[in-house]
Amino acid sequence: MLLDRIWYTPHHPLSYLLRPLSILFAGIGAARRALFTLGLKQSVRLPVPVIVVGNITVGGTGKTPLTIYLAQSLLVQGFSPGIISRGYGGKTLVPLAVSKDSDPAQSGDEPILLARATGVPVYVFADRAAAGAALLAAHPEVNILLCDDGLQHYRLQRDLELCVVDGARGYGNGALLPAGPLREPVSRLKTVDAVVVNGAERLPGQAECFQMSLLPGEFYSLTGAARQSWQGKRLAAVCGIGHPQRFFNTLTALGLEFTEHAFADHHQFSQQDLPDADIILVTEKDAVKLAGLSDVRIWALPISASLTPDLAGWLGQKMNMLSTR
């Protein structure tokens, strides 16, 4: 895709042409943050601790599997977490409760995956503070909120910030939007509570830094079919995620041979998008939308996050400290 080529190709000429717009973007972003910092724009403090999971780049870095990991870890430690999200791609005009059977056209695809994987309450709305208030009103037992992709949503006050960095692609050309992939300058990492690097070594000089690996599980059929041998079958990999190559690399590491079919992030799939193949391999995120096609050829690959050092233990200590304030 053109933007990826501009952002991740060193010294791409179009990137330099866009630099003046990046300067404007930086100024607008800094002014907006200052308005919240100075109290000239109102921010909202919810009555329970809020953990924000986000990134400083556009595109997939691994926020969703990390949010699932955090919710599951908090449950094991006796907390009652809830999840709030923007619900990118959804059309809801009010805070919306998301279940495993929700319509992705209303809620977006990732919140449904979060609801299915964790079983905790999930609410979506562009105003995350309003989504959090609605979730807490409906689920008073919730005592911690995870905010998926809310690092730049300064209207919502937060107690902890976790920033996910793509270890493979890094910060691209290091420029802010639209010349580069950065939503905020790299210096923003100095102000977050922890950095999680997906797929590479921890960052030097970062006080709290964790390495995340995404581990593939067992393929499952979207129609409930039992898996049989794929030997001699024509395989195709289809995905509409922020970093398609990560999915393709995972399949290659599993020893599979396939054709690649990448679509834009959050693509709304139709039957016409599916290639001529015996077996179609997809991500769980894309499976949310593809399930409605009832195509027996589609198999989804679940993934789970593994963190080193022990992020779950670190988070539990932080939450216990917050509860004693």
Q: Based on the fold, state whether residues 123 and 255 are members of the same structural domain.
A: no
Among 88, 96, 81, 90, smallest CA distance to 131 is for 96
Q: Is 58 annotated as a binding residue?
A: yes
Identify whether 100 is part of a domain.
Answer: yes
pLDDT value of residue 131: 98
Domain count, the chain: 2
Query: Residues 2-41: pLDDT tens digits?
Result: 888 999 999 999 999 999 999 999 999 999 999 999 999 9
Range of the domain at 261: 218-301
Identify whether 37 is part of a domain.
Answer: yes
Q: Based on the fold, state whether residues 30 and 104 are members of the same structural domain.
A: yes
Q: Based on the fold, state whether residues 209 and 227 are members of the same structural domain.
A: no
Q: Based on the fold, state whether residues 225 and 240 are members of the same structural domain.
A: yes
Identify whether 71 is part of a domain.
Answer: yes
Q: Based on the fold, state whether residues 208 and 289 are members of the same structural domain.
A: no
CA–CA separation, 235 vs 230, rounded Å? 8
Q: Based on the fold, state whether residues 134 and 253 are members of the same structural domain.
A: no
Q: Is 63 annotated as a binding residue?
A: yes
Q: Based on the fold, state whether residues 182 and 71 are members of the same structural domain.
A: yes
> In which region does residue 200 sit, left (phi positive, over 0), alpha (psi from -120 to 50) or beta (all else)?
beta
- Dihedrals phi, psi of 67, to nearest 5 degrees: -60, -40
CA–CA separation, 62 vs 185, rounded Å? 19
263 three-state secondary structure: coil
Query: Residues 263-316: pLDDT tens digits?
Result: 998 899 999 999 999 999 999 999 999 999 999 999 999 999 999 999 999 999
CATH number of the domain within which 16 lies: 3.40.50
Q: Based on the fold, state whether residues 41 and 125 are members of the same structural domain.
A: yes
CA–CA separation, 1 vs 186, rounded Å? 24
Identify whether 2 is part of a domain.
Answer: no
Query: Residues 69-98: pLDDT tens digits?
Result: 999 999 999 999 999 999 988 999 999 999
Q: Is 64 annotated as a binding residue?
A: yes
Q: Based on the fold, state whether residues 202 and 235 are members of the same structural domain.
A: no
Q: Is 61 annotated as a binding residue?
A: yes
Q: Is 89 annotated as a binding residue?
A: no
Q: Based on the fold, state whether residues 317 and 258 are members of the same structural domain.
A: no
Among 170, 172, 167, 166, smallest CA distance to 5 is for 172
Q: Is 190 annotated as a binding residue?
A: no
Bridge pairing between strands 122-124 and 96-98:
antiparallel
Identify whether 1 is part of a domain.
Answer: no
Query: Residues 253-265: pLDDT tens digits?
Result: 999 999 999 999 8
Q: Based on the fold, state whether residues 155 and 46 are members of the same structural domain.
A: yes
Q: Based on the fold, state whether residues 147 and 271 are members of the same structural domain.
A: no
